[in-house]
């Protein structure tokens, strides 16, 4: 049983016309497989994108889901290699720590997502060639989870081999996609380079021409991956830069994305205006108009990290500034030398202030991407949400599901 508002929504588009559409009919909680495809197609067809927020703790994961519930919007929670290592604990030096941490995050989100009443996409962020062992570890976890529960642990994964030659980039993506498609896991890939620096990948001195992907490059990816399955998206560079910049200081050209769609449409001979699912990276420094143009041209996901990192810190900074005199010792404050300060330094107090600030900033991104009110939150009635969500799938049904996915993949390869 759920509490929810009308299934019909009016998008808060930056354009003057307001369109009434039906909310996507996927269930709340972590979405995978056919439901994920349905959700992203709904976004592309209805002119909104889903924000993907990098998370490093259960606190930041909860803040993202709270923002989605508050804004009536699907959200994506994504983990980087460094984020996975942080989840595992910075003192853990095991080579599998990043994969284990990513699994830990996913299990937490799966447990709590139904309480927030919105669709949540679990995703892993940039994986360069040197980080493929991390990717392999997450796939192994997906396969084990799929065998037991009949669906993958993660909704989607990203391979970022943009620093490699295009042929090698695409070949490696094909190899992994053939493995992912058996579990109906979405693959995001990048062709063309996002500038700046993030999570140890530094492209600050890259050739500026490589910051702009060509339609031919995008088509070569589409042509190779579409032979295997339809659950993939392309991060095509259009001047994007990781990091924080003032609007106008980054030369974004989102209109290039429309050219990719037109080129693919002509090659396919289809009436579909936007046949490709596109992704936007390096959104910092983008104007509202640039973001709107990207979404208009088929971007269904935009990464956000730098701005929410600042927001989380800023909530804590403001709290410390306000309560400074209550945070200088366990005992003693302006109300008395023997007065205790526990209710101020309790981590649940100041972490909550950080969360509240991040929730607000996530809401800003949701609105900029036109996703606000795209999915009326279906919050369970008090006491009706399951205390635990793990329930082994019927082994026969799970095996049949995996076999059917393999058959569908083979049929897709031969054009059936």
Catalytic residues: 125
Beta-strand relationship, 201-203 and 196-198: antiparallel
- Beta-sheet strands, E only, within 117-231: 119-124, 156-159, 186-191, 196-198, 201-203
Provide the 3-class DSSP secondary structure of residue 75: strand
DSSP code string of 254-295 = THHHHHHHHHHHHHHT-S-S--S-EEE---TT--HHHHHHHH
Q: How far apart are CA 326 and CA 342, in angstroms?
A: 9
Structure tokens at 350: 């100041």
Beta-strand relationship, 75-79 and 119-124: parallel
- Beta-sheet strands, E only, within 25-177: 29-30, 50-54, 75-79, 119-124, 156-159
Taking a C-beta distance cutoff of 8 angstroms, is the pair 229, 247 a contact? no
Q: How far apart are CA 216 and CA 208, in angstroms?
A: 18
Q: What angle do CA 253, 77, 255 make, to 5 degrees?
A: 10
Structure tokens at 138: 């997450």
Backbone angles phi, psi at 234, to 5 degrees: -125, 125
Which residues in 317-356 are b (16+ Cβ under 10 Å) and which e? eebeeebeebeeeeeebeeeeeeebeebeeeeebbbbbbb
């Amino acid at each position: 049983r759920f509490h929810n508002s009308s299934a019909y929504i009016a998008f808060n588009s930056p354009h003057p016309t307001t369109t009434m559409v039906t909310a996507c009919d996927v269930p709340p909680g972590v979405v995978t497989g056919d439901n994920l495809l349905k959700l992203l197609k709904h976004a592309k067809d209805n002119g909104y994108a889903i924000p993907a927020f990098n998370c490093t703790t259960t606190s930041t994961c909860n803040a993202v889901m709270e923002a989605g519930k508050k804004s009536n919007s699907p959200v994506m929670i994504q983990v980087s290699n460094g984020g996975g290592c942080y989840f595992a604990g910075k003192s853990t030096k095991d080579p599998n720590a990043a994969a284990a941490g990513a699994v830990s995050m996913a299990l937490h989100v799966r447990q709590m997502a139904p309480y927030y009443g919105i669709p949540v996409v679990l995703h892993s962020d940039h994986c360069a060639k040197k980080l493929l062992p991390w990717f392999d570890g997450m796939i192994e976890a997906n396969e084990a989870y799929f065998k037991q529960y009949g669906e993958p642990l993660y909704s989607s994964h990203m391979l970022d081999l943009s620093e490699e030659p295009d042929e090698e980039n695409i070949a490696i993506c094909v190899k992994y996609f053939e493995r992912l498609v058996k579990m109906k896991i979405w693959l995001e890939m990048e062709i063309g380079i996002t500038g700046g620096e993030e999570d140890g990948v530094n492209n600050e001195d890259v050739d500026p021409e490589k910051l702009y992907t060509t339609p031919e490059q995008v088509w070569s990816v589409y042509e190779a991956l579409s032979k295997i399955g339809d659950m993939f998206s392309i991060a095509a560079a259009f001047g994007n830069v990781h990091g924080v910049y003032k609007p106008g200081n980054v030369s974004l050209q989102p209109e290039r994305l429309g050219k990719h769609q037109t080129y693919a449409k002509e090659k396919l001979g289809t009436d579909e205006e936007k046949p490709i699912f596109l992704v936007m990276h390096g959104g910092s420094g983008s104007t509202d108009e640039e973001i709107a143009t990207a979404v208009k041209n088929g971007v269904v996901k935009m990464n956000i990290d730098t701005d929410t990192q600042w927001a989380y810190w800023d909530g804590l900074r403001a709290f410390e500034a306000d309560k400074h005199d209550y945070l200088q010792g366990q005992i003693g404050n302006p109300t008395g030398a023997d007065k205790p300060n526990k209710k101020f330094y309790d981590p649940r107090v100041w972490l909550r202030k950080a969360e509240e600030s991040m929730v607000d900033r996530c809401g800003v991104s949701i609105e900029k991407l036109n996703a606000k009110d795209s999915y009326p939150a279906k919050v369970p009635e008090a006491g009706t949400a399951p205390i635990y969500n793990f329930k082994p799938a019927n082994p026969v049904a799970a095996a049949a599901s995996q076999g059917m996915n393999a058959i569908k993949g083979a049929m897709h390869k031969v054009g059936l």
